[in-house]
Amino acid sequence: MTTRADMIIVGAGLAGSAAAWAASARGLRVVLLEQFDAGHRNGSSHGSARIFRRAYPDELYVKLTGEAEERWRQLEDEAGETLLTLTGGVDFGADRKPEHLHKVLTRNGVPAELLEPEAAAERWPYFDFTGAGQVMYHADAGVLDPDNAMAAMLRLAAANEADIRFGTPVTRLEATPAGDGAVAHTDSGTFTAPVIAVAAGAWISPLLDGVVELPRLTVTQQQILHFAPVQAPGQSAPAEPWPIFVCQDGADNFYGLPGGRDGEVPGAIKIGEHIAPPTTTAASQATTVAVPTTAADRDFKVDPAARARITDFAGRRLPGLNAAAPVNEVTCLYTWTDNEDFVLDRSGPFVVASPCSGHGAKFAPLLGKIIADLAAGEPPPDGRFTLPGHGVLRSRPTALHAPNTETPAQHPAVTPPLSASSHSDGSQIVSFAWQ
């Protein structure tokens, strides 16, 4: 059986869900194919808490975060729920270069302030800024909710008659012989459209192997721990949520944020380590690098060495947390480009959407618009995101991709804020009934 559409999207993570929302809102007949069930934890887009921040040393990303925030607010208006909560953001450590961040933000109209470590410690007594130098704060930072955001975008897309199918792995992609579109093959049938957007995260390289030449993409498994807050003697509990924070100082390369539902206890703080693989520019100056893996080979086990580094950092820098006993720990996947820029481009009938390197979540609603624009034949938002910008010559694909016979590693799904029914062919379609 062949299903025809105006646009096919492969991957229902944050980027793919956002693309389905954006494209269906333009009146396109959209088919979204996701290999796993709703609420799965196998990729990068799961959980209740990701950082939103404007603090980048790069003006392009400062600009794009502003556009992304506008799209987050549009999504909230259409969905009728809060998905992005501003808490403010703290950046510290010599290698984080707070003074430079402050200059970039203020030069681009984003209010920010620099504080001496003593003043910062008085303002946030649950941090220890000793020896960290100046601390930068900007109010336009906070926490977004990926699980609820994906559910909202898919619900809106379904209301626009998007055909959303979970449990439908794509086994092969190819351009049509006539050169007028592309075909996605699955065990339940084929799907064809003038354009296919591939937003499959860690699975994007095997899916597009032999179809579109990609730059080197390296997959790593990242470790995340949650810690419960403690109240120091004579210290009152924070009246407001913790700010999100990024610390880069020598061997320290950590981020943290309020953990939301994933924290399992009230007020838990999520802490992760931003460790790049040896293929990246960032790793050239790092004392610790991440071990590459694949989506099929990752083991879901928290690396003991990473656990030790995170708990050590929490013990040294975050006296407001019970660093001795993490309350929860999880893993997720990053898909890195060598320079950590995104890949957002079109090659023939294929849109390549790899908003990766561990910092794509905050851009999700904007990425959906960009993917829909690329599908419509519009140019990428910046030459840095193109395939040539990553050193790849773009050409119209003609080769076919051999079926991937590997069984992807799977992790038990949690109950998502939506429910699913089945097509007659056995694939799932989401009904978006809140539970």
Say how far apart CA 356 and CA 361 lie, in whole Å: 9
Angle CA(120)–CA(124)–CA(129) in degrees, nearest 5?
Answer: 50
Say how far apart CA 75 and CA 82 lie, in whole Å: 9
**For the whole model, what pTM was predicted?**
0.90
Q: What pLDDT sits at residue 421?
A: 41
Q: Which one-letter DSSP state was computed for residue 27?
A: T
Alpha helices for 251-353 (secondary structure H)? 304-317
What is the mean pLDDT for each group of 10 consecutive residues in the chain (435 residues)? 96 97 98 92 91 98 98 98 98 98 98 98 96 97 98 98 98 94 97 98 96 96 95 58 96 96 94 92 80 91 95 97 95 94 97 91 98 97 96 55 37 38 41 27
Write the CA distances from 346 to 12, 29, 37, 102, 313, integer angstroms: 19, 19, 28, 35, 42
Q: What pLDDT sits at residue 237?
A: 52
Kindly list the structural domains of the chain, giving each domain's residue range(s) and its CATH number in brackets, ordered by start: 2-44+147-215+338-430 (3.50.50.60), 84-144+218-336 (3.30.9.10)
Beta bridge partners of 224: 272, 330
Say how far apart CA 37 and CA 21 lie, in whole Å: 19
| Helix (H) or strand (E) segment spanning residue 165 | strand 163-166
Q: How many CB atoms lie within 10 A of CB 401?
A: 19
Q: What pLDDT sits at residue 393?
A: 77
Listed in sequence order, the residues at least 6 apart from 207 whose beta carbon sits closer than 8 Å to its beta carbon are 10, 170, 173, 198, 200, 401, 404
Q: What pLDDT sits at residue 318?
A: 98
Say how far apart CA 411 and CA 409 lie, in whole Å: 7
Say how far apart CA 272 and CA 52 lie, in whole Å: 15
Left, alpha or beta for 306 (phi > 0: left; psi -120 to 50: alpha)? alpha
Q: What φ, ψ does residue 32 adopt, rounded to 5°?
A: -115, 120
Asked if 341 and 357 count as a contact pair (C-beta separation under 8 A), the reply is: yes
| Number of helices (H), then strands (E), in the chain | 8, 24
Catalogue the long-range contacts made by 303-307 (C-beta closer than 8 Å, 24 or more residues apart). Answer: 303/221, 303/223, 306/223, 306/273, 306/275, 307/223, 307/225
Residue recorded with tokens 């860690």: 202
What does the chain come to in residues? Answer: 435
Catalogue the long-range contacts made by 313-317 (C-beta closer than 8 Å, 24 or more residues apart). Answer: 313/247, 313/252, 313/254, 313/271, 314/225, 314/227, 314/271, 316/128, 317/127, 317/128, 317/129, 317/247, 317/252
Q: What φ, ψ does residue 94 adopt, rounded to 5°?
A: -60, -40
